[in-house]
Amino acid sequence: ISLLAARFVSGLPHGAFFGVGAVVATGMVAPERRARSVSLMFLGLTVANIVGVPAATAMGQQLGWRATFLGVSAIGVAAIAALAFLIPRDSAPAPTTGLRGELAALRSLPVWLALGTTVAGFGALFAAYSYITPMLTDAAGFAETSVTLLLALFGVGATAGNLLGGRLADHSLRGTLFGGLASLVVVLASFPLLMRTPVTAAVSVALLGMAAFVTGSPLQLMVMEKAAAAPSLASSANQAAFNLANAGGAWIGGLALAAGFGATSPATAGAALAVLGLAVAATAR
């Protein structure tokens, strides 16, 4: 119980950190580089899939699970120090509204449509990714010992997609968002075919990460833009939307799997969610 409580408490700052971090990051750069600044902030999430998870696993195997948590805590302390010393105090735009204004922004329909796009779009990812292991083992024929390496391919694709999405969104935010969601539909709908051989399955895992994370910074910026002069709370709410997508997408993918539609059925369910994301995004003007 104490470990669960510690996990809950450690997760509390997540939304605030990335929500406020996006506002600070965009305040440190010229307007034409805002999406790239958000993608660089999100870079830690994608790199963690490539480096952090395997390193933490190895540390836990060699030194015990407590050593992993101590290592993560040490990194957190170092990050706090870096934030305190490296971020200019005037990096964020001067606030133009108080808490009342921030709450008022959440009463805006365009903000909720943007948040809904995040839930549907990343729900599509998590519908498939939550069950990627049985897809790779049961459908593609990989041994369970190979799954960790394949998940690293997902991290590589996610990193590339995140950086690409940030660069493209600075030229066309909506174009990048629609292109990313459309690509996600195609990739997920192709999973039943791509999971038939090990080579195409490995490629599909990388493409899934790339297509999904191309939309990361455009989604974050869209929510902030819809909130206009009160972006901080809406930006943090978008992190809640990402987490809701994680839970909801996994639940929907699980329903497809439990219904007996086959090992790749969560990906098909994810494709339907991505189509829903496109529809919601089209109304968020």
Quote the DSSP letter at residue 142: -
Residue 233: per-residue pLDDT: 84
State the Cα angle at 167 between 156 and 125, rounded to 5°.
Answer: 45
Q: Are 142 and 198 in contact (CB under 8 A)?
A: yes
Residue 97: per-residue pLDDT: 64
**Cα 104 to Cα 3, 80, 109, 226, distances in angstroms:** 37, 31, 11, 12
Residues 254, 193: Cα–Cα separation, whole Å = 20
Residues 111, 268: Cα–Cα separation, whole Å = 28
Q: What is the CA radius of gyration of the chain?
A: 19
Q: Is residue 102 very low, low, confident or very high in pLDDT (cuts 50, 70, 90)? A: confident
Residues 276, 140: Cα–Cα separation, whole Å = 28
Residue 172: per-residue pLDDT: 94
Residues 203, 116: Cα–Cα separation, whole Å = 29
In percent, how much of the chain has pLDDT > 70? 96
Quote the DSSP letter at residue 283: H
The predicted model gives 226-242 an average pLDDT of 85
The larger pLDDT score, comparing residue 21 to residue 40, is at 40
The predicted model gives 107-127 an average pLDDT of 94
| CA 94 to chain CA mean position, Å | 28
Residues 106, 238: Cα–Cα separation, whole Å = 11
Record the tokens describing residue 131, joined without a space: 């069950």
Kindly report whether the global pTM for this prediction surpasses the value 0.75: yes
Residue 177: per-residue pLDDT: 96
Q: Are 212 and 184 in contact (CB under 8 A)?
A: yes
CATH topology of domain 2-283: Growth Hormone; Chain: A; (1.20.1250)
Residues 106, 237: Cα–Cα separation, whole Å = 9
State which of 64-73, 180-189, 228-237 shows the largest mean pLDDT. 180-189
pLDDT at 232 over 60: yes
- Least confident stretch, 13-27, 61-75, 260-274: 13-27
Record the tokens describing residue 222, joined without a space: 């869209």
Q: Is residue 95 very low, low, confident or very high in pLDDT (cuts 50, 70, 90)? A: low
In sequence order, what DSSP letters do the residues of 207-252 get, joined into one string? HHHHHHHTTHHHHHHHHHHHTTT-HHHHHHHHHHHHHHHHHHHHHH
Residues 71, 65: Cα–Cα separation, whole Å = 10
**Cα 280 to Cα 39, 112, 187, distances in angstroms:** 23, 10, 20
The predicted model gives 46-54 an average pLDDT of 78
**Cα 228 to Cα 116, 136, 224, distances in angstroms:** 17, 43, 7
- Least confident stretch, 26-40, 118-132, 155-169: 26-40
In percent, how much of the chain has pLDDT > 90? 54
The predicted model gives 231-244 an average pLDDT of 88
Q: Give the start-to-end residue ranges of the domains of the chain.
A: 2-283
| Secondary-structure percent of the chain, ordered helix, strand, coil, rounded to 5 | 85, 0, 15
pLDDT at 39 over 60: yes
State which of 78-87, 118-127, 225-234 shows the largest mean pLDDT. 118-127
